[in-house]
Amino acid sequence: MHLYFQHKRVVIATQHRKEDVVAPLLRNRLSMVPLPAQNLNTDALGTFSGEIPRLLDPIMAMRRKCQLALDWVDADFAFASEGSFGPHPHIPFSACNDEMVMLYEAATGRHWIAREMTAQTNFNAAEINTWKTLEDFARNTGFPEHGLVCRRSSSSIDDVHKGIADWSRLREVFEGLLLKYPSVFVETDMRAMFNPTRMQIIAAATGKLIDLLHQECPQCQFPGFTVTQVIAGLPCGACGMPTRSTKALRMSCQSCGATADKNNPHDRTEEDPMYCDFCNP
C-alpha cells in the first residue's frame, strides 16, 4: 500500500452513484478517506443523451470535474471518471465502452489516469414502432436491471424519458410517444446507476488505476511509475535493420523524471522480415 495516499481525503467527483463502487476500492486498497461531492453537476459538462453536447476531451473533462468538486469540498485529492460509447474500434459489429478514471492532486494539479476499454456493454439504440419489437430490444439489453431511454427521435431533445426501469413504465411511455409520433427512438441508459454492466467497468478501471499507483519510482518511490513512451526499432531477423515494431517501453516518474526501459516487451528480440522496410519493401 502506498503511503503517499494513506489517510488522505479524496472527493469523489461523480454523479449517478459511481461512488458505490469507487469509494470502497480507494478506502480498502489505498487507505484513503473518500468524501461525497457537493453541489456537483457534471451534466453541465455534457450528457450521454445529448441535451448538452460534450465539448472537452475526456482528460480535460475529468480535470474539470475534479477542480469543480474541490471548489466545494476541502480534500487532498479528487477522483473523476469519464465514459464513452460507440462502435468497437477492433471488433466488427460490436459496441465499445471506453471508461477512463483519474486521481487528481489538489495541491499540485498532478494526475494519474487509467483506462478500461471493453466490448462488454449493452450500448444499443433502435427506432421502434411495435411493442413486440420493443420487448425483444429491452430483453436483449438487460432490461429492467439496465435502464432505457425513450424519445421522439435520435436527434430530438424534447420528449426525452430517461431512467425507465420497469415494464409498466416502459409500456406507458412508449405508447404515449406512439400517439404523437410514427416511431420511438429507444436507447440504453448509460448512466452508471441504471447500468450495472457499466458500473463493473468503472470498478475495473478504478482497480487498474490503483494498480498503477502501487508502481513506485525506483529512484524516489513516487507512486504511478508507468509507461509513457513506446520506442520503435525492434531489429529485423534477416538484415538487422530497425523496424517499426516496439523495441522497448519507457517507464517514467512524474516527480523526479527518472526513466527505465522495459526491453522486448512482447518477448521477442527480432522482428519477422515481412515487416521490414529495408529487406522486404
234 counts as binding Zn ion under rule CB under 5 A = no
Query: Residue 15 in contact with residue 79, Cβ under 8 Å?
Result: no
Are the C-beta atoms of 113 and 61 separated by less than 8 Å?
no
Helix segments in the chain, DSSP class H: 19-30, 58-72, 131-140, 167-180, 196-213
Q: Which is nearer to Zn ion, 134 or 253 (CB)?
A: 253
Q: Which grid coordinates are listed for 23?
A: 469509494
Contact between 260 and Zn ion by CB under 5 A: the answer reads no
Distance between CA 153 and CA 151 in Å, rounded?
Answer: 6
For Zn ion, what does the binding mask look like between residues 167 and 206, x meaning CB under 5 A? ----------------------------------------
Figure out which of the listed residues 3, 60, 119, 279 binds Zn ion, where binding follows CB under 5 A: 279
267, burial (CB in 10 Å: exposed 0-12, middle 13-18, buried 19+): exposed
Task: Report d(CA 233, CA 205) in Å as an integer.
Answer: 31
Under a CB-based contact definition with an 8 Å cutoff, are residues 84 and 58 in contact? yes
Q: Quick one: which of 255, 259, 265, 272 contacts Zn ion (CB under 5 A)?
A: 255
Shortest distance in whole angstroms from residue 250 CB to Zn ion: 14
Does 60 contact Zn ion by CB under 5 A? no
Q: Does 220 bind Zn ion (CB under 5 A)?
A: yes
Pick from 84, 120, 183, 219 the residue near Zn ion by CB under 5 A. 219
- Judged by CB under 5 A, does residue 49 bind Zn ion? no
Q: Cβ closer to Zn ion: 181 or 222?
A: 222
Other Cβ atoms closer than 10 A to 46 = 15
Residues that bind Zn ion in the complex, under the rule CB under 5 A: 217, 219-220, 222, 236, 238-239, 253, 255-256, 258, 273, 276, 278-279
